Chain A
Amino acid sequence: MQKKIIYLKDTDSTQQDRVNDFYTLFSNELRDTNLIEQASVVRIADMGLYEKGVAVKILPENIVYTGLKNTDVKKIIEETIKGNKVIKESLYEKKSKQMRAVLKNCGYIDPESLEDYLAAGGYKALAKVLLEMKPEQVVEELKKSGLRGRGGAGYPTWMKWNFARGMNSPEKYVICNGDEGDPGAYMDRSVLEGDPHSVLEGMIIAGYTIGSSKGYFYIRAEYPLAVERVQKAIDQAVEAGLLGNNILGSNYSFELEIRLGAGAFVCGEETALIASIEGKRGTPHPRPPYPSVKGLWEKPTIINNVETLANIPQLIFGGGAKFASIGTEKSKGTKVFALTGKVKNSGLVEVPMGITIREIIFDIGGGILNNRSIKAVQTGGPSGGVIPQEFLDTPVDYENLGKLGSIMGSGGMIAIDETDCLVDLAKFYLKFCVDESCGKCAPCRLGGYQLLHLLEKISEGKGEMEDLDKLKKISYAMQKASLCGLGQSASNPVFSTIRYFEEEYKKHIIEKKCPAGKCKALIYFKILPPKCKKCGLCFKNCPSAAILGSREAGYVIDPIKCVKCGLCFDVCKFKAVTKE
């Protein structure tokens, strides 16, 4: 009989006592039953489970028991170790709400090995397309699947490809948009670094479908590892005959090249991206003509996001109908989100479309840090909006998020709790858009600046009621009149925060108060004499020498010198410092 290993871990906390007690119990029990030769107990640091009580994982069968009590030890040894039976009552069943499709290989295969990708079923879809399918059939499959662009706007992928396919031109181009500039989003980076071949395969299939022989990878220069891995993947594919002339013995030829971005957020916009590849300043130009008609060097071009392309191989291999079986009526498949902010477990999550935001935040993310209450969720980065907690049960898809005044975007999802100020948040995103605006069109260049100016005024306590109307008016004008997506959506954070949190804005304007205590000009620190124990901790820690007094006389804060850093508030053990 193979020796069994019992992994032991207290998933609730880092209390050593409980684990040690169980360790002793298990060891004693094994000794008493003379099973030391057959099994050993190991305390481990992490099991990937949280808040499930004391848990054990028994190898080689990989049985996981959770929520164990002292009395269970005997039973486990008796039944599972000795009798090879599973105890159903304690068995932990995995109820993950995630579904890995795009990320299925990330972390499981060696991204620098073509063999690994092939072993995971890679390039089978390409072979199927080249040997068995006509371009029309590929488009047909895409149409059946209902796949929509994952870059933000959610344009149906089949339509884009079909336009370009229908164009009569000897030269056409495929571009992979890997210019992921959203602060707080790193889905594309993970795919490019974790599974570059899947994106390559998607691009070759795209090239075959529209009749293009040349493709470009546009990747941010800030992602050196992604660039390196994609280059390696291209070299490997060329060597294996998966790129170049007569791919897999067919008549189809395709070549790929990497172009580096150079740190301009606006280059994620497709016409700006094209300008950048052409060796121009990355400024967008009006559409139509759309790139699928007149794109790179005025030739028909399709531009797809990394995640969209990474979806293609599994979609073709499994068939469009299978892909369409996941998701909601109008949004199919899965979506990768970068879950950050005030959640307990942050990171990349891949979920089927139609899951509710609450499930993502609470079931996958584990809820809000420090058990505070959630105030809102921000999606779509600087182009998106906030979704207040009343709407957390909304299923995630393009339409629903749009209705709530936010967007799917590339997949940033930031949880905001009660200590965050929405005015401050809007200001943060707007600052980003103002910095990144290319300056070509007036609504974005001037509008953004004016919005920022108004928000600064409000957060400094100098706001007036008419500023709210001005904010709305300028936001509206920017949405309607800006040239590209950046300007059109730059005001979204302002629009949606006013829509749901007008009260908070009014508090800033009328009462000159910041309820979350974030806007520095509107908060004041004070020491309450009855609570103060005169310990002097605040006095020692104050960075600007704004606390006056002595251990005998007690302390007061000089409001003129105070820089409102909040250090005294944080260090006071007696809650004698108040913030208002």
Chain B
Amino acid sequence: MNWTIFHQHVYPIRHKLYRFALRMTGSVPEAEDVVQEVLERVWKSSEVQSEGVQSWEAWCMILTRNRSLDKLRSNARRSAKPLDGVAEQTPDGADTARAAEARDMAEQARRFMQELPEKQRLVMHLRDIEEMSYEEITRILDIPMDQVKVSLHRARKAIREKLVAADVHFVANT
């Protein structure tokens, strides 16, 4: 691996890889491990391997998906676990009622997302958070495009329903 390529194309997307690994594993330490292992793997890749790469981002995301799946299999974890350690990273740090409310809502929405079936959750993550095209999502998750579109449609519909229900509950309690 050429240091310049690594520095320009791979290292800058480490946060994206981390978020994807976090979405898949549901665990901060494991997501960190996955990213570290993926970066090492890419860094140690041979020149021949590097020459065949068309999109570094897609390749790294595929490696992240595979490594996360390995982790999940080895740990026999359930993918729908709540994200531990993420709630503290919300930007609203001010100790105000509004910030607290925002934190609660954010945590609730994350939980909604984590409760989605795995495919829907990952498609939604790649589209709504990483802003990827359908083609990229197809390549990364290795599923047909129509499945990507159907999964996104179902995921958004489910989230919307949960938001409406939570909003009704929230309004009723205030």
Whether chain B is bound by chain A comes out as no
Question: What residues make up the interface of B, taking CB atoms closer than 8 Å to A?
Answer: none
